[in-house]
Amino acid sequence: MENYIPPYTISNQIINIIANISSLLTEISFTNKEASNPKLRRENRVKTIQASLAIENNTLSLDQVTDIINGKRILGEPKEICEVKNAFEAYDLLLTLNQYSIKDLLYIHGILMKELTNEAGTFRSGSVGIFAGETLVHMAPPPSQVPNLMTNLFHWLKSTKDIHPLIKSCVFHYEFEFIHPFSDGNGRMGRMWQTLLLYNWNPIFGWLPIETLIKERQDEYYKILGECDKAADSGKFIEFILNAIYETLLEIGKTDQVTEHVTDQVERLINVIGNDTLTANEIMAKLNLKHRDTFRKNYLLPSINEGFIEMTIPDKPRSNKQKYRLKKKL
C-alpha cells in the first residue's frame, strides 16, 4: 500500500475560516436544539437532499421533495422521484456507517443509486468525466486504477491524525471527486461522505444543510474543481467548502437569535415594504438576506400570522406571481 499524501496548500484565509467556524460552534445552540428535535432534523435533511440532487440537475422543488418523503404522490419524472427516495433512505442510514470503511461506502452507494445505474454499489468499469454543462471539467483516472486509489485514500484518511477534521474532510471530498470512483452518483456520494466525516467530529454536521449554499454557487463549485485539477492542489476547494460551512453556521446562528426577537424582524420587514407591493425576492434584497428559509421563518410568516402584511394571491400561496403588501386596517 502506498503512503499517499494528497497535495493541498493551507492559506491564511483557510486558517481564519477555521477559527471563525470554531468560534461559531461554541456560540450557537444548534446541537441541543436541532439534533434533539426530530422535526427540525427532518426539515434540514429534506433541504440537504433537495439541494444535493439539484446540483446534479434534479428539477424537483423543495415542496415536491417534501411530499415524496412524506409518502405523497406527485407529478414528476420517475427517475427524479426515484433519486429522492433513494437519497432519503441513504441519508437515513448515513450516520450509522463506518467513516473508514470502503465496504460501507459501496453499500450506501448501492442504496443511493439503486434502479438508477447498473453499477450501483460497485466501482465503475468504464471511463467518466466531470462536466459543467457541456464543458468537460475533469477526466477521471482509468477504471483499473480506481480500487487502488480508493484504498490509498481511505488509508490516508484513517492513518492521518494531525490534520484538522475540517481540512481533512474537504481534502477527502476533493480527492474523491478527482478519482470519481463510480459510474454515477459521485457528487452526491462525495458530499454525503464529507457530512459523515464532519459528523464524527461534531454531531452538529449531521443535520447541517451545507448543500443549499453549494447549490447556490454551483458554477463556482465546478470551476474550482477544474482549477484545483490544473494546479494539482486542492487548497481553493478547501477554502470554498469551508466558506459554505461557515455561512451555513452563520444562518443557523441568526435563526437561533431571531426566535427571541421576532418583533424586531417583523418591524424591519414592515419598514422595507412601506407602501409598495413586493415579491419575496424583492423583500429579501431590501433586507439584505440571502437564506430563503430564514427569511420565511423569521420575517415573512410571523408578519403574515400577526396580521401586518397580506398576500396579493391568498388562494394560491405558492404562486410564482405572489406578492406581499401591508394589510389595510378596517
Strand partners, 129: 139
How far is Cα 270 from Cα 264, in angstroms, rounded to an integer?
10
Q: Per-residue pLDDT tens for 68-105?
A: 998 999 999 999 999 999 999 999 999 999 999 999 99
- Residue whose cell numbers read 455561512: 247
Q: How far apart are the first and last CA of the chain?
A: 78
pLDDT (0 to 100) of residue 218: 84
pLDDT (0 to 100) of residue 253: 64
Element (H, E) at 51: helix 38-55
* Number of CB atoms found within 10 A of residue 208's CB: 24
Question: Could you give all domains of the chain from N- to C-terminal order, each with its CATH number?
Answer: 12-257 (1.10.3290.10), 261-326 (1.10.10)
Size (the chain), residues = 330
Element (H, E) at 138: strand 135-139
How far is Cα 309 from Cα 92, in angstroms, rounded to an integer?
38
In degrees, rounded to 5, the angle at the alpha carbon of residue 208 between the alpha carbons of residues 14 and 9 is 20
Pick from 196, 251, 253, 213: nearest CA to 48: 213
How far is Cα 87 from Cα 152, in angstroms, rounded to an integer?
27
List the grid coordinates of 323: 406578492
Pick from 163, 157, 188: nearest CA to 175: 157
Give the CB-side neighbour count of residue 317, counting CA atoms within 13 A.
6
DSSP character for 206? G
Q: Say if residues 252 and 41 touch (Cβ distance below 8 Å).
A: no
How far is Cα 292 from Cα 312, in angstroms, rounded to an integer?
19
How far is Cα 195 from Cα 95, in angstroms, rounded to an integer?
9
List the grid coordinates of 12: 491564511
Rounded CA Rg of the chain: 21
pLDDT (0 to 100) of residue 279: 94
Please report, in tens digits, the pLDDT of each residue of the chain (330 residues total): 557 788 899 999 999 999 999 988 877 654 445 555 566 678 888 989 999 999 888 999 999 999 999 899 999 999 999 999 999 999 999 999 999 999 999 999 999 999 999 999 999 999 987 776 777 777 889 999 999 999 999 999 999 889 999 999 999 999 999 999 999 999 999 999 999 999 999 888 887 778 888 888 888 888 898 899 889 999 999 999 999 999 888 877 655 544 444 467 888 898 889 888 999 999 999 998 988 888 988 899 888 887 889 999 988 888 889 999 987 643
DSSP character for 136? E
How far is Cα 121 from Cα 169, in angstroms, rounded to an integer?
22
In degrees, rounded to 5, the angle at the alpha carbon of residue 298 between the alpha carbons of residues 292 and 299 is 80
Strand partners, 135: 132
Q: Say if residues 173 and 198 touch (Cβ distance below 8 Å).
A: no
How far is Cα 106 from Cα 137, in angstroms, rounded to an integer?
25
Please list, in sequence order, all residues whose beta carbon lies within 8 angstroms of the beta carbon of residue 118, skipping any fewer than 6 positions away.
183
pLDDT (0 to 100) of residue 167: 96
pLDDT (0 to 100) of residue 30: 47
